[in-house]
Structure 1
Amino acid sequence: MDTIEKDLTRGGEFLVKETLAENVFTPEDFSEEQKMMRDSAKEFVDREIWAHWERFEQKDYAYTEECMRKAGELGLLGVSVPEAYDGLGMGFVSTMLVCDYISGATGSFSTAFGAHTGIGTMPITLYGNEEQKKKYVPKLATGEWFGAYCLTEPGAGSDANSGKTKAVLSDDGKHYLISGQKMWISNAGFANLFIVFARIEDDKNITGFIVENDPSNGITLGDEEKKLGIHSSSTRQVFFNECKVPVENMLSERGNGFKIAMNALNVGRIKLAAACLDAQRRIIGEATKYANERVQFKTPIINFGAIKSKIAEMATVCYVDESASYRAAKDIEDRIAIRHAEGNSHQEAELKGVEEYAIECSILKVAVSEHVQFSTDEGIQIFGGMGFSADTPMESAWRDARIARIYEGTNEINRMLAVGMLVKKGMKGHIDLLGPAMKVADELMGIPSFDTPDYSELFAEEKDIIKRLKKAFLMVAGSAVQKFGPQLEEHQQLLMAASDILIQIYMAESALLRTEKNAKRFGEDSQAIQIAMTKLNLFNAVETINTKGKEVIISFAEGDEQRMMLMGLKRFTKYANHPNVVALRTQIADKVAAENGYYF
């Protein structure tokens, strides 16, 4: 498929533009090279990390560092780094793939890997000048050095630009003297280099600096933090006391730090989604094996409907998460390729390519982080009392998963961001939201069609439902924008509920498109379980959208307007043929049980 010429949907445009199944990328599209990379990462994790998961629970920080060094020797730390700086120079999908499969065994290593390759290395790769990149990136790409990212402060978390750390130019103009306190710094205990954000004078925005970790230069570390999970991820406070940083180590331009931080978060969000995927696969595998082996009342517990329901739902959300994550990853890769073809530099193409899909990045961050928590929770429940024991990996997986809803901007912030960015894109004319929203308003006022649609083809009804769910969002969001205007961002509960509708639409459509594409090329029979998961997920999505839609409508509409919108919501979420969700769950669970784990 020619990435430049295919009909590429812009960021957020999935809501108002139909995406054809043949235009989405799926995990079944991995090249032979990508499959080899996947297998290499998986083999490394099985050998070095999964086999020693107890060491990570015992706060063996030295072993985390040792594994990171081994990953560097295998080239796994430099997948996205250009070859000119000793990286592999792979595309965005390949970087997602490695992040996916290297992160599954323990949150401690996943965090160390993500902090180093993402926010520790990427800001220099994308914002550094040539001299900075030549000096630092090869060391980071090979694992000779490790990086950390110093943004958060005691008084500056979600409000990242409010940091108090100061950078004062020395009298001779050769150095900045950085003073301040940073907290929750991943990899701090073994980092050779910090990306530090500080404010120069009374600048409106913070500035980024590349700071080498030298204890004799005014840098001290706090003790390792005591945390709920990710026990062997080194997390410390970092104190700067007039730390001398050469002026040539300013990253990008003065006052550009907030922009660097925000763009790093966009990439971090979709990479965090990837980092939760193999964790889900492994949890499903462990839970299924246990349920197949655990006998109660003279039968393996996998035969009980209550267990089947859990296994089926866990497998379904994992399948959905894979579908959406790799769909977005390829869209980003294609947008980067288009910008390269238009003459953009590597840095600009990468930055703008990811920024284009910032809405999807936030959607994925929320959905997948919540699904991995759901799966670990159900995994503990399937294990029963043993799941609560630290002798099994379920207990640590549950604790490790909890941080994912806080990393890269809390899920609450990302929910509000997703809708806020979409509305802004519409107001700027980047996406035509107004036209489709007005059509939905006209449709509400019109007489509904009583024709019986033809749903004989695979997914005919499901595709029609997806279209109507998009109308439900446009109805709700359009009315809210009309009512509240610029004050919409003050109505956080409304935004979060609207965001849940948006998230369900993107995730459900992604799964449907993947399954439709594969059913067409491999045959429907080969995709029977995937079809069942797609239908089960859409049913769950419709139920969520019904609930959230009512919540939003009732919160701001009254009288005839409220009645009309509630009737519209009912029309948009209506099934002609309700799926038998109990039968679907049974079908899915039986296959997962037969395969003894997630096999898709």
Structure 2
Amino acid sequence: MSTETINKEILRGGQFLVKETKCEDVFTLEDLSEEQKMMRDSTREFVDRDVWAHWERFEKKDYKYTEECMRKAGELGLLGVAVPEAYDGLGMGFVSTMLVCDYISGATGSFSTAYGAHTGIGTMPITLYGNEEQKKKYVPKLATGEWFGAYCLTEPGAGSDANSGKTKAVLSDDGKHYLISGQKMWISNAGFCQLFIVFARIGDDKNITGFIVENDPSNGITMGEEEPKLGIKSSSTRQVFFNETKVPVENMLSERGGGFKIAMNALNVGRIKLAAACLDAQRRIIDEATKYANERIQFKTPIMNFGAIKSKIATMATNTYADESASYRAAKNIEDRIAVRQAEGNSHQEAELKGVEEYAIECSILKVAVSEHVQSTADEGIQIFGGMGFSAEAPMESAWRDARISRIYEGTNEINRMLSVGMLVKKAMRGHVDLLNPAMKVADELTGIPSFDTPDFSEVLSEEKDMIAKLKKVFLMVAGSAVQKFGPELEKHQQLLMASSDILIQIYLAESAILRTEKNAKRFGEESQAIQIAMSKLYLYNAVDIIQSKGKEAIVSFAEGDEQRMMLMGLKRFTKYMNNPNVVALRTQIADSVAAENGYHFD
């Protein structure tokens, strides 16, 4: 464990809401080591050469080319970044695995899906839950690309309710095999994988069990045709049918009934990795849209000179900057937590599982925010291209379609919104995050006399940091009152949870952007961060708007009379700027910088 990790306070998951984070304690893309920069650059070079340059092939259902690119990624070591060296992987830290996932995923959703399914839910369950014999037998083949993996969880009647699957596993008479029978659907990589992670129920067990199943058609395994899909055209997606497929008892993954736990923890990792996988897609869309806007002449001038286009480009860049800031902040928190657990004697498996689980709230926040931003970025990319953007001859159309699945993957965004608040409340009840005392202080503040002191906003982003502190009070006010009113029944009030989650999401992303910029302004100088300061201010301004709307929606849904009036007054007080930023000027400043560089240049 590094001295840096030891010397800084590592907040627990969710504590960002009630504890101040120092800018020096957040990790940013500007903190990458030389080794990480080399890994990023080699990944980008591979993607530019073998994936982005051939994006049309992925739109023509060229499944073989997807498989070919996956093999090349394996030869470069990109499939084994997170795999320990003992199993032929690179054994790199969590930030490095995020970095590769980020930059390998930007060119096309088809390849991104194949990569994510293989390295995440195809390989990771064995790495983190397999016994030594299983890891030695299977992980090296997966880490090098000799074999590809797939994950069989979803069934026709079991989607978000993953534990309700009907696939059965029956112990053979001789006790040497389980016979698996059932139907799985939406299985990524099914058409070219050699190994499945399959979830099935033994007897009347409450929870499903995980199994490692080799893909052998002579062993009762058949597949449906490739699914026709809106996007990710060259991602192999098939139904898989098991008919008394024999699986050696030693291929049970973890313990009997442990499958649901494996599935849920795989989703935690998958959520933050999905956020990473949407980042470079946003950058590339911005690059293409900016180049087009700089070159497209209308009314005798490039359309980039029009304020309407500048507004779009500025918002696209600002959202991407905030997404980067929050994703790498959380990734380093996870990496540090893993290091602490290993220093305490936990195994690699235990440390990684618990390290990611600790930040499950942040993982859900990121999954929702970044997947929605990549969709809006792609949508605006089409709009900037105009009629050409709607044409399949330009990459905007495929980017929009590919982005759509990201709001469904790894648990729908609706599920993740409710989970983020639900998990936070549960952490508070366990004493892991003190929400009660801060919420009581906010309640007292609502009935007290407001301070009329003029705060000192002389330092960079000091007013914005003050606003973040006030926005946290909005969440504590709303969530504290809702918990007090509904108690354990809160989970039944889904629209309230979703509104509260939107407040939580905006706080985390806005704060992450501000902390990143503050850190870099202190070490590189404010002048060098002028555009980043503008983006931080613009993101916060937009976040305040969202929080005002969602805060009001939440308050009027459960509070009445004097309580409602008091909370609405509090909402107004906590979202009030002392000095409103000139958002038109901010957008113009950001867009002009992006236009001058002919693309996104803040990573």
Q: Give TM class, smaller chain.
A: over 0.9
Query: Which residue is equivalent to 1:375?
Result: 377
Query: Which residue is equivalent to 2:520?
Result: 518
Aligned-residue offset at 1:124: 0.1
After the TM superposition, which residues 254-293 of structure 1 pair with which residues of structure 2 at under 5 Å, given as runs? 254-293=256-295
- Find the partner of 1:568 among 563, 567, 570: 570
Query: Which residue is equivalent to 2:368?
Result: 366
Corresponding letter in the other structure for 1:568: G
Aligned-residue offset at 1:395: 0.2
Aligned-residue offset at 1:453: 1.4
Q: CA offsets per residue over residues 4-53 of structure 1, 9 Å max, x none? A: 33111110000000000000000000000000000000000000000000
Output the CA distance in 2 between the equivalents of 1:53 and 1:460. 44
Determine whether 1:425 maps to 2:423. no
Output the CA distance in 1 between the equivalents of 2:429 and 2:444. 20
Contact 1:4 1:337 in 2 (8 A): no
- SS at 1:155's partner residue? coil
Query: Which residue is equivalent to 2:438?
Result: 436
Query: Which residue is equivalent to 2:326?
Result: 324
Output the CA distance in 1 between the equivalents of 2:79 and 2:588. 41
Query: Which residue is equivalent to 2:103?
Result: 101
Aligned-residue offset at 1:455: 1.3
* Ranges in structure 2 where 5+ consecutive residues have no aligned partner: none
After the TM superposition, which residues 101-500 of structure 1 pair with which residues of structure 2 at under 5 Å, given as runs? 101-500=103-502
Query: Which residue is equivalent to 1:64?
Result: 66
TM-score by length of 2: 0.99
Q: CA offsets per residue over residues 486-528 of structure 1, 9 Å max, x none? A: 1100000000000000000000000000000000000000000
Corresponding letter in the other structure for 1:79: V
Q: CA offsets per residue over residues 279-325 of structure 1, 9 Å max, x none? A: 00000000000000000000000000000000000000000000000
Output the CA distance in 2 between the equivalents of 1:358 and 1:208. 21
More displaced 10-residue stretch of structure 1: 2-11 or 219-228: 2-11
Output the CA distance in 2 between the equivalents of 1:159 and 1:452. 52
Determine whether 1:14 maps to 2:27. no
Q: CA offsets per residue over residues 421-440 of structure 1, 9 Å max, x none? A: 00000011011110100000
**In percent, how many aligned pairs have the same letter?**
87
Q: CA offsets per residue over residues 399-426 of structure 1, 9 Å max, x none? A: 0000000000000000000000000000
Query: Which residue is equivalent to 2:555?
Result: 553
Aligned length: 600
Corresponding letter in the other structure for 2:240: V
Output the CA distance in 2 between the equivalents of 1:319 and 1:303. 22
Output the CA distance in 1 between the equivalents of 2:84 and 2:429. 36
- SS at 2:371's partner residue? helix
Query: Which residue is equivalent to 2:601?
Result: 599
Q: CA offsets per residue over residues 212-256 of structure 1, 9 Å max, x none? A: 000000000100000000000000000000000000000000000
Query: Which residue is equivalent to 1:89?
Result: 91
Output the CA distance in 1 between the equivalents of 2:34 and 2:383. 38
- SS at 2:150's partner residue? strand
Query: Which residue is equivalent to 2:535?
Result: 533
Output the CA distance in 1 between the equivalents of 2:446 and 2:590. 38
* Ranges in structure 1 where 5+ consecutive residues have no aligned partner: none
Output the CA distance in 1 between the equivalents of 2:103 and 2:263. 26
- SS at 1:3's partner residue? helix
Query: Which residue is equivalent to 2:42?
Result: 40
Contact 1:93 1:329 in 2 (8 A): yes
